[in-house]
Amino acid sequence: MKFRDRTVLVTGASRGIGAAIARAFAAEGATVVVNYLRNAEAAEWVAAECRSLGGDGWALQADVTDDGAVRAMADRLSDELGRLDAIVNNAFRPYAFDPEKRALFWDLEWGDYRSQVDGALKGTFTVCRAMLPLLRRRPGGSIVNMATDLVARPTVPYHDYATAKSALVGFSRNLAAELGPLGIRVNCVAPGLVYPTDASRSTREDVKDRIIAQTPLRRIATPEDMAGPVLFLASDWSRFMTGQTLYVDGGLVMG
């Protein structure tokens, strides 16, 4: 198994894309830290699934935007597991992909942008900074940040959300340049619309149909579709890749 004897932290992993990624790592033998914010029962369920799949699972609560909480999580990982090989920054501030009810630019306040930046970028910054000493203990560490294809193709202009994710891509490239000499790689996975997730439940069928019609592979992604690309970027198979954004949207964005 590709990730046997490796420890992976997946933030926001109690449901949706994060849960699918956690299960996929576990199926490859990893010890998976299932980070969650509020839903302890769901996180424990995902951790149990990880154990049943042949890896190990450990549910750990922390608000990734809270520096103290993340540092406490890093201390627990250091004391109880002693290592960290990969981080998947999947947690983000709640958002509803509803084209009919989205806020138009002239209805937005700067606080709307700041809220999404805190969710997408501050959370990633806080986790990366706190976990860096653990990552540096072993060679070949990897960080995978979850972005969106909206940064390249605003199919629907979700201004605040896509702007925050654009900042995340810029942050990831700079971090890749900084950490490369330390042997730590940083890349992004940029999904299109993923269904079903809590964020996409408000997306109407006609909107999904329009996206499908523009997508060469002619379907909407599932959470499980994100797992393979994330595992690839976290594995030795991508050992000479860093600072990249991998679009996983069925060909909606090319190049």
Q: Quick one: pLDDT at residue 96?
A: 75
Distance, CA of 52 to CA of 136 (rounded, Å): 30
Own/partner long-range contacts of 68-73 (Cβ < 8 Å, ≥24 apart): 70/126, 70/127, 70/130, 70/131, 71/130, 73/35, 73/130
Dihedral pair phi/psi, residue 14, rounded to 5°: -80, -5
**pLDDT of 55 higher than 70:** yes
The single-letter code of the amino acid at 102 is R
Within 8 A by CB and 6+ apart from 159, the residues are: 103, 105, 108, 113
**What distances in angstroms separate CA 159 from CA 28, 93, 171, 192, 213, one per listed residue?**
37, 14, 18, 15, 23
Distance, CA of 212 to CA of 221 (rounded, Å): 10
Work out the mean pLDDT of the chain and round it to a whole number. 94
Distance, CA of 193 to CA of 133 (rounded, Å): 34
Q: Which residues of 221-233 are buried (b: 16+ CB within 10 A; e: fewer)?
A: bebebbbebbbbb
Q: Which residue has the higher pLDDT, 103 or 228?
A: 228
Of 36, 95, 158, 161, the catalytic one is 161
Cα 27 → chain centroid: 18
**pLDDT of 123 higher than 80:** yes
Nearest to 175 by CA among 164, 185, 190: 185
Helix axes 67-80, 123-135, angle to 10 degrees: 30
Dihedral pair phi/psi, residue 248, rounded to 5°: -125, 80
Q: Quick one: pLDDT at residue 197?
A: 75
Own/partner long-range contacts of 212-216 (Cβ < 8 Å, ≥24 apart): 214/155, 214/252, 215/249, 215/250, 215/251, 215/252, 216/250, 216/251, 216/252
**pLDDT of 201 higher than 80:** no
Q: What is the mean pLDDT of residues 86-104?
A: 87
Q: Are 19 and 44 in contact (CB under 8 A)?
A: no
Say whether 7 sits in a helix, a strand or coil.
strand
What whole-number percentage of the chain has pLDDT above 70?
A: 99
Q: Are 100 and 204 in contact (CB under 8 A)?
A: yes
Is 95 annotated in the active site? no
Q: Which CATH code fits 7-248? A: 3.40.50.720
Say whether 143 sits in a helix, a strand or coil.
strand
Q: What is the mean pLDDT of residues 4-12?
A: 96
**pLDDT of 199 higher than 70:** no
What is residue 237's DSSP assignment?
Answer: G
